[in-house]
Structure 1
Amino acid sequence: MESHIINNSTPSLLSPIKTNWKSIYIVAIVAFISALEFAASNDWNYFCQLDSSATITFYGILRTVGGLSGGISTILAGWICNRLKDTRQVLIVSKLLIFTSTLFFLGAELVHGFAFYAFFLCYKLLMGIATG
């Protein structure tokens, strides 16, 4: 049986407290990237503003693709986390996908025609995978 030595000394009011800034920065970056996911949640108005001929049918397809990709990626992410016995890699990939999908969302304003619809489709697909 292992024995653990516990230091019972308590810091005094005059002793400096060391802050783990690396952890604070990591949490701040993750929180910011997570906020991107919800910042673009009202995309129908933006979609119609960029393309006045947009139909609710295509938007329904976009929503379905996002939901379906999220459902499938949830199962896949669970399996991968179980296999690796760690969630860090999956969470890092998820945050990168959120960031990438947000770039597609913002880039849709710069393209026209088929590329516009492809950008929105990539945005919904990647955001769905990332949130799953």
Structure 2
Amino acid sequence: MKLIALILLFTTSTYAQYNKIKHNTCRLKIDPTSKSNKELYSKLEVLLSERGYNFELFNSAREIVPRDLYLTMNVETSGKMYKECYVEIEIKLAKEKKPTEDDQILFKEHSLRKFPRQTFEGKERCNMAFNDISFRVPTCIK
């Protein structure tokens, strides 16, 4: 029993080391398409403020300061009757003034939820998929 507790102690501490992003400003721009699901966006705002990010939406020109962070959250529901929900969160480091495909990915995680089937729209599945990802979002350290 003591051996199991010791192993768990070491694995959680090593996970905590890698679950951090060192950045000089912790400034994070959020893609406006992430705001399409208002309930998940409000949860995202709370999560990011808890993790130490200074965040705001992209402006209309989608400009960003090079070497700053930006986040995209993709939420997709699919299915005929009971819709399954796919949620993906990605944090990237910008190389230029606008986001590009070859920017460095610092964090990328996704979750697909098919159950529980309480409603046809799948709102509870989207909330659960977001919760699956939320504990993995790294903390920003200046």
Length-normalised TM-score, structure 2: 0.26
Higher relative strand content? 2
Structure of larger gyration radius: 1
Higher relative helix content? 1
Q: Which has the higher contact order (CA 8 A, sep 6+)?
A: 1
Length-normalised TM-score, structure 1: 0.27
